[in-house]
Amino acid sequence: MCHRQEEYVKNPHLDSMEEDILYHFNLGTKTHDLPQMFGDVKFVCVGGSPNRMRSFAQFIHEELELPGNIADIRDICEGTDRYSMYKVGPVLSISHGMGVPSISIMLHELIKLLYHARCRDVIIFRIGTSGGVGLPAGTVVITDKAVDSFFRPQFEQVVLGKVIIRSTELDEDVAQELLQYSSELPDTPTVIGNTMCTHDFYEGQGRLDGALCSFSTEEKLEYLRKASEAGVRNIEMESTVFAAMCRVCNLKAAVVCVTLLNRFEGDQISTPHDVLLEYQQRPQCLVAHFIKKRLGLI
Ligand code: R2B
Ligand code: URA
């Protein structure tokens, strides 16, 4: 039996547009042959920093033993400095900046890109950093549910002056598969848990060290305890909108973030730079391992 995969986009207006300009990528349907450029993409990895996503592309190039030189992997979005995008074989690596508005603009254009390129069966990963809730620094958290600051598994978007609520559940099978593969990797302590997404790094995450702070140490710890009771294991700034948009658009998605500190013990990120770099590679190694397994390379 032939199963027709649902389209990734959910917008009836798109079909009547003569041209679609993906403004923040500096790409477009008239100026670029998107099916030719991206039609074979099967895995998309997104993360905050442009440099990290370039090194991830180089790393994947080596892991997949692709031909050519890593120095030749160029930024497809070099015509704009909003986002960076690298393609290595079936893997696309894109930066999304910090916070919900930045990643949501990127996701609108990415999901349209996958649609215009007629991609099929794509899995998308957010690989990032986070603050741990009761976990030692360096732990990888695979997100079960992305929750908001009230610990609700939902994302609220204001559309035409009204609040639209979307669910933030992620793909359970991909999460379980990632957890299983983590046990095959050295130095990759990994858990599955809820990830809280906030709209601020300082007050919004209960930090005492921002330019403003309106609460006591005891109130901060009480909030973190409540988060922990609600199953929250880490805190970052993009997971709810990432989960919500991918879910509505039928994209299989997972969030894999390493913790940089235990928020019960402090707020400042004081770990040495080289240790932080090693931590940041952990989600990359896990996702690379997943991709290699799926491609039958290991
Ligand atoms: C994790 O790290 C960034 C803040 O430092 C933010 O983008 C996030 O989600
Ligand atoms: N990213 C966050 O959003 N919070 C942290 O505490 C660390 C990284």
Q: Which two tokens stand for residue 3?
A: 């199963």
ipTM: 0.99
Query: Relative to the alpha carbon of 206, which ligand is closest?
Result: 2
Looking at the CA of 207, name the nearest ligand. 2
**Rounded percentage of the chain residues whose pLDDT exceeds 90:** 97
Q: Say yes or no: CB of residue 198 within 6 Å of ligand 2.
A: no
The band of 159, judged by pLDDT with boundaries at 50, 70 and 90, is: very high
Predicted TM-score (pTM) of the model is 0.97
Distance CA 214, CA 197 (A): 20
Ligand 2 centroid to 111 CA: how many Å? 26
Q: Residue 170 contacts by C-beta under 8 Å, 6 or more apart in sequence?
A: 143, 144, 145, 146, 243, 246, 247, 253, 254, 255
Position 59 scores a pLDDT of 98
What per-residue confidence (pLDDT) applies to 262? 98
The mean pLDDT value for 64-70 works out to 96
pLDDT of residue 201: 98
Mean predicted confidence (pLDDT) in 136-154: 98
Distance 289 CA to ligand 2 centre (A): 24
Which own/partner contact pairs does 78-82 have at CB distance under 8 Å and 24+ positions apart? 78/26, 79/26, 80/24, 80/25, 80/26, 82/24, 82/25
Exposure on the CB side of residue 198, measured as CA atoms within 13 A:
17
Atom of ligand 2 nearest to the CA of 131: 6
281 has pLDDT over 80 = yes
168 lines ligand 2 (CB under 6 A): no
pLDDT recorded at residue 144: 98
Query: Chain-centre distance of CA 281, in angstroms?
Result: 14
Confidence of residue 217 (pLDDT cuts 50, 70, 90): very high
Give the pLDDT band of residue 4 (cuts 50, 70, 90). Answer: low
Residue 6 pLDDT: 77
Residue 41 alpha carbon to ligand 1 centre in Å: 26
Strand pairing category for 123-132 and 85-88: unpaired
Answer yes or no: is the C-beta of 236 below 6 A from any ligand 1 atom: yes
5: pLDDT strictly greater than 80: no
Question: Average of pLDDT values for 247-255?
Answer: 98
Q: What is the pLDDT of residue 3?
A: 56
The ligand minimizing its distance to the Cα of 202 is: 2
Mean pLDDT of all residues belonging to the chain = 97
pLDDT score of 176: 98
For the segment 6-65, what is each residue's pLDDT rounded down to a tens digit? 799 999 999 999 999 999 999 999 999 999 999 999 999 999 999 999 999 999 999 999
Reply yes or no on whether the pLDDT at 232 is more than 70: yes
The rounded Å distance from CA 268 to ligand 2 centre is 10
Distance CA 22, CA 18 (A): 13
Ligand 1 probe mutation, 52, 104, 129, most atoms within 8 A of CB = 129
At 205, is the pLDDT very low, low, confident or very high (cuts 50, 70, 90)? very high
Atom 1 of ligand 2 has which residue's CA nearest to it?
130
Is the minimum distance from the CB of 70 to ligand 1 under 6 angstroms?
Answer: no
| Model confidence pLDDT, tens digit, residues 96-106 | 999 999 999 99
Which 3 state secondary structure label does DSSP give 289? helix
| Distance separating the N- and C-terminal Cα atoms of the chain | 30
Q: How far apart are CA 235 and CA 263, in angstroms?
A: 9
Ligand nearest to the CA of 143: 1
119 lines ligand 2 (CB under 6 A): no
Nearest atom in ligand 1 to the alpha carbon of residue 97 is 7
Report which residue type is found at 96: H
The rounded distance, in Å, linking the Cα atoms of 144 and 272 is 29
**Token couple for 41:** 């993409």
Residue 298 CA to residue 294 CA, distance in Å, equals: 9
Centroid of ligand 2 to alpha carbon of 195 (angstroms): 11
pLDDT band (50, 70, 90) for residue 178: very high
* Per-residue model confidence (pLDDT) at position 2: 55
pLDDT of 214 reads: 97
CA 93 to centroid of ligand 1, rounded, Å: 17
Q: Is the CB of 236 under 6 A from ligand 2?
A: yes
